[in-house]
Amino acid sequence: MVLWVFGYGSLVWNPGFDFDEKIIGFIKDYRRVFDLACIDHRGTPENPARTCMLEARRGAVCVSRS
């Protein structure tokens, strides 16, 4: 079975699973932003942590770097 995962945040440096191959890739029309309010493991309801997410943006390119 083959499964490709696009890593754009902590998945780039610490994926949390074993992998056979790592390549640099990109996704068109999305950009990386720190705009997701996280309360489950990085913040609290009173003080949510900002985490990385992908936002649709025409013409943008998000690159997965190693």
pLDDT tens sequence across 5-28: 777 666 666 777 888 888 888 999
How far, in Å, CA of 6 to CA of 41, rounded?
A: 21
| pTM exceeds 0.85 | no
Asked whether residue 49 carries a pLDDT value surpassing 90, the answer given is: no
> What tokens appear for 57 in the block?
């943006």
Whether the predicted pLDDT of 39 surpasses 80: yes
User: Which residues lie closer than 8 Å to 55 by C-beta, 6 or more apart?
Assistant: 30, 31, 32, 33, 35
CA neighbor of 29 nearest in space, from 5, 62, 4: 62
